[in-house]
Structure 1
């Protein structure tokens, strides 16, 4: 991996879950420096081991992971937290507590690796900003969602829709305003489509005029226009900044 390895503390009340997470963290090139099964043990391990990042289960007996994340955010803002949750309902509270990212159970190796890599780049960056978020309308709810959880924005039937893994919502702004706001974090792949660069996994060619952009996670591929194909390939080669 390109960024410096992180020293990771795993907090989960299930031993089997901790064991699996430890394997995925190691596979991603990072170091597990300790484990805990509840909030009290996590506090002791944070003091004793001094991790760079806490991989924190949300639902635990006694004090919840969200409570511990809020405490870490107020007392140790330098300590990064990635939540592990079975429920996709924590975005607003989590980011208000200073959580860097969160991954859904069952945790996939590629998604966890992506989250850890972003955290490592944040840690080594000269002046890393707070997580970028977008306000979405999802059903009857309005919530702020991290840009990192979105795969792409699409203009459809007069609306702008954000899609990601297990995520779809309406955005109350235009594509050009999103492009101006997020700049190089987005890549135009066809008319009416802006893709989040960190969500891109690769490019699949199905025919001479049929090229599909592939994403991390369970997100359907998006066709790439002939006009934008060279730019997409330049990005995949690493030629685009």
Structure 2
């Protein structure tokens, strides 16, 4: 894994890097605070960020909100000596919350969880880099010309896979149209457009993908279950 450690304490950074090195072959980089972490993110696109919370310049919670928004493929793990930050940490979809000092066994549990999550992820190319996108964050896939677009709440990405490949690999997506797959977890209803054709209503998105007459009964079945 490509891992970024963000902590203002040099000894804490080195200790965590040592534990990670003992547990596997990882590419590890470090940052002293949140602002430096954001710079590293843009340069390295890490798979995982181990983030301390209380830091100068920019604290870990503020940096994590930006990372979650701009780099949804990156797993965030918070590190702290204080339990009171646990609930706010999970508001930014943190994968885990580790209390210092961290044991090797507890760290391995976190790495195993991240590895499992990444297996259920879509790989895509962004500016020459291959990144992973958690499939549970994708609301729908749209086929246009030679590409497929993955639509998220605030972003969208171009993929190389076909809709047929995606439908076979990710059964939580149903075909509602020859050009659209929708994640059933985001499906909230059916409406009609200005031409009285059926469209899908999605949670967290204003996008309204068309529903073909052929697929309409299938969509209704999913909404009734």
Query: RMSD of the TM alignment (CA)?
Result: 1.7
Name 2:96's counterpart in structure 1. 101
Structure 2 CA distance for partners of 1:108 and 1:128, relative to 1, 3 Å:
farther
The reply to whether residue 55 of structure 1 matches residue 57 of structure 2 is no
User: How far did residue 97 of structure 1 move?
Assistant: 0.8
For the pair 1:119 / 2:117, whether they are aligned, the reply is no
User: What runs of 5+ residues in structure 1 fail to find an aligned partner?
Assistant: 1-5, 131-241
Match of residue 22 from structure 2: 27
SS at match of 1:55: strand
In 1, the alpha carbon distance for the partners of 2:52 and 2:25 equals: 18
* Structure 1 runs (4+) greater than 3 angstroms displaced: 126-130
- Are 2:106 and 1:87 equivalent residues in the alignment? no
2:103 aligned with 1:76: no
Give the distance between the partners of 2:92 and 2:56, measured in 1 at CA.
20
**CA offset at residue 51 of structure 1?**
0.7
Specify every segment of 5 or more residues in structure 2 that has no aligned partner in the other structure, as ranges: 122-133, 138-225
The answer as to whether partners of 2:68 and 2:93 remain within 8 angstroms in 1 is yes
What is the CA deviation profile of residues 55-81 of structure 1, one whole-angstrom value per residue up to 9, with x for unaligned ones? 111111121101111111122111110
Mapping of residues 107-186 of structure 1, within 5 Å:
107-125=102-120
Secondary structure, aligned partner of 1:99: coil
**Partner SS, residue 11 of structure 2:** helix
Whether contact under 8 Å (2:68, 2:92) holds in the other structure is yes
How far is the alpha carbon of 1:96 from its aligned partner? 1.4
SS, match of residue 89 in structure 1? helix
Relative to structure 1, the CA distance from residue 27 to residue 128 in structure 2 (aligned partners, 3 Å threshold; closer, same or farther) is farther
1:53 touches 1:79 (CA, 8 Å); kept in 2? yes
For residue 45 of structure 1, report the CA deviation from its aligned partner. Answer: 1.1
Shift of 1:26: 1.2
Aligned pair in 2 of structure 1 residues 124, 68: CA closer, same or farther (>3 Å)?
same
Q: How does 1:188-227 map to 2 (within 5 A)?
A: none
Q: Is the 8 A contact 1:58 1:85 kept in 2?
A: yes
Native 8 Å contact 1:77 1:98 kept in 2: no
Q: Residue 38 of structure 1 contacts residue 61 of structure 1 at CA under 8 Å; is this kept in 2?
A: yes
Larger radius of gyration: 2
Paired residues in the alignment total 125
Partner of 1:65: 60
Shift of 1:125: 2.0
Q: 1:79 to 1:41 in 2, by over 3 A?
A: same
Residue of structure 2 equivalent to 1:9? 4
Match status 1:44 vs 2:42:
no
